Structure 1
C-alpha cells in the first residue's frame, strides 16, 4: 500500500536542502522540493515518508539530469542521510508520528 501525503510533499517549500551534495547544492530555499527515493522501476516513487528536502540542483543530480563526480552509491548514501534528516524535521512538524 502506498502512503501519500500532500502535506508532507508541500512541507518542503521554503525549507533548507537536506541532501547538500558538495559542489552541486545551490542552498536556495526557494527551490526546495520533496525528493523521493527512487522506486523499484522507471517512474515509480516510494512512499512520501521516504524522501528528503532537496534544492533544485540536488534534485536534478539525484534524478540523473545533472552530472556529478560522485558515484551512484555515493549519491544514494547522501540521499539516504538526507531522508533521515528530513524525517527528523517531519517529526518536529508532527507530519509523521511514531506510535
Structure 2
C-alpha cells in the first residue's frame, strides 16, 4: 500500500481561519483534498468556480496532483487593488510633504 501524503488545506477570513491537516493518497488532486477537508461545509461562501486556489502562494488548478507537505490555499477576492492602495498612500505622503511647516 502506498504511503499517505500529509497536506494542509487553508482558508482565512478577516476574523476566522481554517487549517486542516490531512493525509491523502498519492494521486489526490487539490479539488479532492478541498472537498474531503470539510472547508466547503464550514464556509459556504467558497465558490471554487470563481475563487482561485494555490499551493504555497502559487496559483494552481483544481486538478493539480498533490505532493507531500503541500499547503493548499483557497484565495478570497481582493477588497482593494494593491496598486491603487499604493498610489493613494504615495499621494497622501506627497500632499503631506508639500504642506508648509507650521
Higher helix share: 1
TM-score by length of 2: 0.24
The structure whose Rg is larger is: 2
TM-score (norm 1): 0.25
